Amino acid sequence: MSKTSDKNRDASKKQGENKVELEDFAVEFRKYKTELTEKFKNRKKWEPKDESKIISVIPGKITKIYVSEGDVVVAGKEIMVLEAMKMKNVVISEVSGLVKKINVKVGDLVSKGKVIFEFELSVD
C-alpha cells in the first residue's frame, strides 16, 4: 500500500467515513468480533414454530385429505398427501388436537409457506 493511500484512509477515518461497527459473538466459548453486512442485519428474524399450524414446506398439489374440520387428530396420524415433483409426500400430524380449519381442498396447488391446517391443541 502506498503512503498516499494510507493518508487518504486515515483522513477518511477522521471524518467519520467508513466507520466500522463490530459485533461481539461467541462460538464454543471463544469470543470474536465481526462486521455484519446490511443483508445480514435486514434478514428475516427467526421465530419459534407455531405448533397449532401445519405449513407447506414445499410447493405442490394436494391429492388427498384424510381429515375434516372438527376431527380430533392424534400425533403421528396421516392427515394428507402432497404431491411435489411427481412424488407423493404423506403429511403426518406432529401434534394432537382438534382440526379447527382446513385452508385447502383436494386439487389445490400450494406454495411454500402456505398455512394448510389450523389446530386447536389439546392439553395433555
Q: Using one digit for the tens of pLDDT, what is the confidence trace for 74-112?
A: 999 999 999 999 999 999 999 999 999 999 999 999 999
Question: How high is the pLDDT of residue 1?
Answer: 45
| CATH code reported for the domain at 53-121 | 2.40.50.100
Question: How high is the pLDDT of residue 17?
Answer: 57
| Domain ranges across the chain | 53-121
SS (H, E, C) the chain: CCHHHHHHHHHHHHCCCCCCCEEEEEECCEEEEEECCHHHHCCCCCCCCCCCEEECCCCEEEEEECCCCCCEECCCCEEEEEEECCEEEEEECCCCEEEEEECCCCCCEECCCCEEEEEEECCC
